[in-house]
Structure 1
Amino acid sequence: MKVLKFGGTSVGSREAQLLAARIIARELPAGGLVVVSALSGTTDLILKAMAASARGDLAGSTRCREALEARHWEAARALDLEAEVRSAWAPLFQSLSNLLQGMGLLWEASPRSRDTALAVGETLSARLMAALLVREGLPAAFRDVREVLRTDGRHGRARPDLEAIREAAAPWRAALGPGALWVTQGFLGQGPDGATTTLGRGGSDTSATLLGEALGAAEVQIWTDVDGVLSADPSLVPGARPIPVMSLPEAAALSAFGAKVLHADALAPVRRAGFRLVVANTHRPSAGRTEIRLDSPPRRPGEITSVAYKEGVSCLRVPPTADAEQLFQASTRLLEAGASLYGLLATPDGGLLVARAETAEAEAVLTDLAASGLDVSRGWAVVALVGEGLRAAQGRALSLLGPLVEEPVAAILAGDTGVSLAFLVPDPRLAGLIPRLHATCIETPLGV
């Protein structure tokens, strides 16, 4: 069994939809599961509509909703599927309208109602893809992912309930095993009270791998708009190359340190279940792709496969005379607010906490910590060299940092898996540093 997931840009136009349908026909001749995101731009439109409703701007909210409806009807007409989706789409548009009106009357968009509204975008897209596959001669049907993907009740950042998911997936396993072809939504779940939940932005990848785990899939494919996982950000390194095969620890390090093609939470099911995870380009299906696997592919000692970075990082420092408990408390508050942590060091020379505010709540915590007297320095970036070759040549790792000899490095961080070496530099240095590191550590064999 295979699970194929298509992101927003992979279903965002008539041409992309038709490409996706051809890929599905080729990859799933004996059935399987297709997971789709909302059409590109849909989630942002719904968020904009909800924000307008929450401040009482019902006219602005209506304009956003009407733009969303127009965009979807245009997509359906382009595929000549307007009649096929009308009965499924009409109640979805009405539900969204009712939700936005309720938010406008209350001047509030509660987390629960936000998740319910966001689910509309995913469901519209899945319904459209199912209709397209039927028109293309495939025995496809829509099934609602909320039948299976059980979560806790944290709206906006729900966590999966693995045991409940596996139990709920039994009927799907029974149907998909013999060859059914189903299309479902990404990003969504169902909480303990039956309410719709969401896994957070980027959660469609996680949906796909969680479903792959629960269904006993041999392979999960993530179809996106790049040729697999690249050796660097192509916006900074035009010559970045696809990585044909990489280990799960390499993929996890890349995800943590900024690679946008993979969502970090999507990798945990791979680790537990051991299926193949493939990343490929919907728009160039015959181009390079990346296979992520549990075992380590052959690497030369010291070989670096990629350079990653995450900008917008903050450094929180306490002097050696201060209580290190301050940093531990700060890290707890930031994590609970949705921040990413990249390092926590407590030494006789003082303490350092490296964090990135991923949410408005985390940004508010940072502001509060700075107001309380903690030294909060913003404008940093974490840069990481990633590769299984570091395991086999740990002593050579620091020798790869030659390009940093004149850089204002704030700290060096080593990952506990042994496949990454990260450091802090000011944000403005990235544009020049990333290409230099790529040339030295990847384009030149073994960084020599």
Structure 2
Amino acid sequence: MTRILKFGGSSVGSAAALRRSAAIVRGELPAGGLVVVSALKGTTDRILEAVAAAGRGDLPAAQAQLSDLRDHHGAVAAELGLVNNVRPAWGPLLARLDQVVTGMALLGEATARGRDAALAAGETLSAHLAAACFQATFRDVREVMRTDARFGKARVQLPALRAAAEPWREALAGGALWVTQGFLGIAPDGATTTLGRGGSDTSATLLGEALGAAEVQIWTDVDGVLTADPSLVPEARPIPRMSLGEAEALSAFGAKVLHADSLAPGGRAGFRLVVANTLRPGASRTEILPVAPSRAAGEVTSVAYKEGLSLLRYPAAAGLEPPLEAARRLEEAGALRFGLVSSPAGTLLAVRPDTPAAAEALADLEAGGAERESGWAVVALVGEGLRADPVAALRHLAALGHEPVGGLLTGSSTVSIAFLVPESRLGDLIPRLHDRCVLRSPEPA
């Protein structure tokens, strides 16, 4: 069955990185398969800065960013000896990118549709270079990745994707080795769209579902999924095998592993999802399995956290309508919602304002009377062992001692328990929880 490898920007960001990735492709796909690549590291930021400058009408600044982009790509291609291989494809792509950005500057407006068209150039430049380096064939993902017309955060139309992917399925099953872009799709009118946050990983897993893949590998710069953030917990260790539910909970509560949208296709299709390190291909990997591995009752697999949260408090007299409307408005503006807790004492809304629009909406809600507290974080204990022994979560919370907990967040997941704490306590609390709840638990199965 087909196997899919996905390489992020750091895995294709330089000539050395591309050579490492090429060796991985040769080792992992000797009988063919599909490789999904992101834009070269830094490319997306350069394009977004060019688009922003063009939207202000500053064409020289925009063109300076594009010049840097061309120079960087040219230098990587030259170091690999592949300039002549990629020039025929790159020439029209770079010309089109220049036209799009120049048009924005003339209008003094950067639309979401135009931004997606510009970003597509970065993904496609990378895919052509990777195809040449891997001695594979480039195929444009827009042949199959059908989406709606929500530019910047398009939703994939699964039945249309499956139908369009049938020729790909047959060719890959026959031994073809192809390279394609991540992050991109095509709207019903033929316009280019992007999938938004986590789009490249999501592209890979959606293609895995559509193509009936046995395995999708996500190659990044860490040794799989770790039991905690190593910047806070040097003793953090890779988790060899974990359930889809554990991965979804870790993603929801801040672990920098995979975006939640990239996990759903594996749950529907049942393929194995692997996270591995491009810098250390022989190191530990994490397998994310559709069937949960065996865990001891009460065992915690990982401790996750997300900082930068704000709490909005509403008195009981306000009822539920104001906090629900606030949650809707903030999410539409790009905020991440981590909890909505209602009690006889009132309602608590925990959000992270990840966009300027969300920050502005939060300020407006505060000005409108909501009580706001900044500087909070959400911490989660995650593990299938909690499903087997739900009371264990309460025992683990004893490790908190007299910590100033802002509230417990008990969602639909039975494999996690989360709570709110001041950001200032993370440096001490996360290592303590990891020692108490992970290191002193049985080894992960």
Normalising by the smaller structure, the TM-score range is over 0.9
1:395 aligns with 2:391: yes
- Amino acid in structure 2 at the alignment position of 1:353: L
Q: Which residue of 1 aligns with 2:430?
A: 434
Matching of residues 192-203 of structure 1 within 5 Å? 192-203=188-199
Deviation at 1:263, TM superposition (A): 1.1
Structure-1 separation of matches of 2:384 and 2:83:
50
CA contact (8 A) 1:31 1:179 kept: yes
Structure 1, unmatched stretches of 5+, are 135-139
CA contact (8 A) 2:310 2:351 kept: yes
Q: Which residue of 2 aligns with 1:367?
A: 363
1:181 aligns with 2:182: no
- Work out the percentage of aligned pairs sharing the same amino acid: 62
- Which digits, 9 at most, give the CA deviation of each residue in 1:233-266, with x for residues without a partner? 1111122100000000000000011111211100
Q: Which residue of 1 aligns with 2:31?
A: 30
Q: Residues 446 and 31 (structure 1 numbering): CA distance in 2 closer, same or farther, change over 3 Å?
A: closer
Deviation at 1:58, TM superposition (A): 1.4
Deviation at 1:359, TM superposition (A): 2.5
Q: Which residue of 2 aligns with 1:61?
A: 62
Matching of residues 243-392 of structure 1 within 5 Å? 243-392=239-388
Deviation at 1:402, TM superposition (A): 2.7
Structure-2 separation of matches of 1:2 and 1:400:
39
Q: Name the SS for the 1:302 alignment partner.
A: coil
Structure-1 separation of matches of 2:66 and 2:132:
23
* Aligned mate of 1:155, from 141, 151, 155: 151
Q: Name the SS for the 2:45 alignment partner.
A: helix
Q: Name the SS for the 2:387 alignment partner.
A: helix
- Amino acid in structure 1 at the alignment position of 2:436: T
CA contact (8 A) 2:51 2:62 kept: yes
CA contact (8 A) 2:4 2:35 kept: yes
CA contact (8 A) 1:302 1:446 kept: no
More deviation, 371-380/110-119: 371-380
Q: Residues 446 and 288 (structure 1 numbering): CA distance in 2 closer, same or farther, change over 3 Å?
A: closer
CA contact (8 A) 2:198 2:262 kept: no
- Which digits, 9 at most, give the CA deviation of each residue in 1:339-364, with x for residues without a partner? 22221122211111111223232222
- Amino acid in structure 2 at the alignment position of 1:92: L
Structure-1 separation of matches of 2:442 and 2:178:
46
- Amino acid in structure 1 at the alignment position of 2:425: R
Structure-1 separation of matches of 2:166 and 2:366:
50
Structure-2 separation of matches of 1:363 and 1:154:
22
Q: Which residue of 2 aligns with 1:443?
A: 439
Structure-2 separation of matches of 1:146 and 1:259:
30
Q: Count residues in correspondence.
A: 442
CA contact (8 A) 1:231 1:241 kept: yes
- Which digits, 9 at most, give the CA deviation of each residue in 1:102-134, with x for residues without a partner? 111111110000000001110010000101122
More deviation, 35-44/336-345: 336-345
Q: Which residue of 2 aligns with 1:414?
A: 410
CA contact (8 A) 1:258 1:308 kept: yes
- Which digits, 9 at most, give the CA deviation of each residue in 1:8-33, with x for residues without a partner? 00111212111111111111111111
- Which digits, 9 at most, give the CA deviation of each residue in 1:190-209, with x for residues without a partner? 11111111011321000000
- Amino acid in structure 2 at the alignment position of 1:173: R
Q: Over aligned residue pairs, what C-alpha RMSD do you find?
A: 1.2
Q: Which residue of 1 aligns with 2:209?
A: 213
CA contact (8 A) 1:206 1:263 kept: yes
Deviation at 1:83, TM superposition (A): 0.9
Deviation at 1:284, TM superposition (A): 0.3
Q: Which residue of 2 aligns with 1:137?
A: none
CA contact (8 A) 2:254 2:304 kept: yes
Structure-1 separation of matches of 2:408 and 2:358:
24
- Amino acid in structure 1 at the alignment position of 2:32: G
Matching of residues 31-180 of structure 1 within 5 Å? 31-134=32-135, 140-180=136-176
More deviation, 53-62/249-258: 53-62
CA contact (8 A) 2:341 2:409 kept: no
Structure-2 separation of matches of 1:295 and 1:369:
43
Deviation at 1:145, TM superposition (A): 0.4
Q: Which residue of 2 aligns with 1:3?
A: 4
Q: Which residue of 1 aligns with 2:19?
A: 18
CA contact (8 A) 1:221 1:280 kept: yes
Structure-1 separation of matches of 2:422 and 2:140:
45
Deviation at 1:443, TM superposition (A): 1.4
Give the TM-score normalised by the residue count of structure 1: 0.97
Give the TM-score normalised by the residue count of structure 2: 0.97
